Amino acid sequence: MRRISVEPLQALPVARRRVELVERKGVGHPDTISDAIAEEISLALCHTYTELFGGILHHNIDKGLLVAGVTEPKLGGGRVIEPMRLVIGDRAVLHYQGVDIPIDRIVREAVEEWVTHHLRFVDPERHIIIQNELKPGSPELVDIFNREQVVANDTSAAVGYAPFTPLEQLVYRTERFINGSAFKEDFPEIGEDVKVMGVRQGDSVTLTIAAAFVDRFIDREATYFRRKEEALARIQAFVDEEFGAHFQGIRVDMNTLDVPGRGEAGMYLTVLGTSAEGGDCGQVGRGNRVNGVIALNRPMGTEAAAGKNPVSHVGKIYNILSHYMANEIYERVEGLEEVYVWLCSQIGRPIDDPLIASAQVVLAEGASLADVEKAIRDIMVQELAQIYSFTERLAHGEFRVW
């Protein structure tokens, strides 16, 4: 019998609280780059291990650091003085059944492919030094992959929730809009490093956006501020059209550190479209949660899901599964305003049998726990029973972790 708990949560839904804060770090943010690349390396290893040996071997690529380079942004186009350095650490199987796994090549190709597809102005061969520090894992953790039953390789807790509040949707979709192909076609000078912070006070929202401009497109200061206002107007129109009905007002501010008259020092200019080129380092686990936002009103775990193996590392599996399970419960069970799912593993315990699986629900008006408890339990039992199909989907990259 799995240990499953269902209880009502006596709390005001987040969307109805007076103050709400939500952040999203865009695809070109140093922390997002770190998470995304760690995950790509893990997926590449899953593919290679399966192709060579018929199954996934032990690895965790969740310790990574993107060290900022040195650049000199200039109106009309600056230069890269020192490239970024990407340090990839933690553990992987490097040699198995007499076969040497080409780890350096796998890491390099995963980095180059992701950067090429997501960062328009970064040349991975010229602008990033890759430092691969992957080492063999401990014998006991490696042995987990040889056992008949898959067990957790850590004692770890995770929490997920559903549904998104209107502010969470707004923040997420605004970043995706700015980094979308249509917007970039009209505003190619805005790089991929876009961060959106949403603050709601009552029914009024302020979005603070940091967007890195690429200097080669900006010939003089007046051009920068004109294009910034044009981009701001486009974003304002988008949020008003898509989310105006949810809020009394949405104010959008962009690059609020800018000061006209100070030249390059008064504008958010970059050479490559990311602050990682010279302004800010990145680290795995400091970016968005696995559902794509950092929602400060919600409970959050501290695990870095990106790069962890999808077979036994519950720090990844449970983080993603808890959100997935919460959404399934919310979508399939009537009478719920909010759902929170908590999962806690015990090292050595089968991953389909967590130490505790708990659902906390905010009931809609007129609903009682008796109305929903059995349906919630049934969904949780079903999802845990299907966890090995879920981990296969993780191994194929079906779930974005940033």
- Tell me which amino acid residue 293 is: V
Q: Residue 48 and residue 143: Cα distance in Å, rounded? A: 19
Please check whether residue 156 is in contact with residue 62, taking contact to mean a CB–CB distance below 8 angstroms.
no
Residue 75 phi, psi (nearest 5): -55, 130
pLDDT tens column, 218-253: 999 999 999 999 999 999 999 999 999 999 999 999
Please check whether residue 363 is in contact with residue 336, taking contact to mean a CB–CB distance below 8 angstroms.
yes
pLDDT given at position 150: 87
Confidence of residue 125 (pLDDT cuts 50, 70, 90): very high
pLDDT tens column, 279-309: 899 999 999 999 999 999 999 988 999 999 9
Cα distance from N-terminal residue to C-terminal residue, the chain: 34
Confidence of residue 138 (pLDDT cuts 50, 70, 90): confident
Tokens linked to 145 = 């992959």
Q: What mean pLDDT is predicted for residues 344-371?
A: 96
Q: Is pLDDT at 264 greater than 80 in this prediction?
A: yes
Q: Are strands 84-92 and 282-283 parallel, antiparallel or unpaired?
A: unpaired
Please check whether residue 107 is in contact with residue 91, taking contact to mean a CB–CB distance below 8 angstroms.
no
DSSP code string of 324-376: HHHHHHHHHSSSEEEEEEEEE--TTSBTTS-SEEEEEEEEPTT--HHHHHHHH
Residue with tokens 């006070």: 201
- Tell me which amino acid residue 332 is: R
Residue with tokens 């390396």: 41
Strand, coil or helix: what is 191?
strand
Confidence of residue 140 (pLDDT cuts 50, 70, 90): low
Q: What mean pLDDT is predicted for residues 185-194?
A: 98
Q: Where are the domains of the chain?
A: 166-281
CATH numeric code, 166-281: 3.30.300.340
Residue % of the chain over a pLDDT of 70: 100
Task: Of 93, 90, 72, 74, give the one whose Cα is nearest residue 82.
Answer: 72
Q: Residue 116 and residue 120: Cα distance in Å, rounded? A: 7
Task: Of 344, 294, 286, give the one whose Cα is nearest residue 319.
Answer: 344
pTM of structure: 0.95
Cα dihedral sign, 139-145-149-155: positive
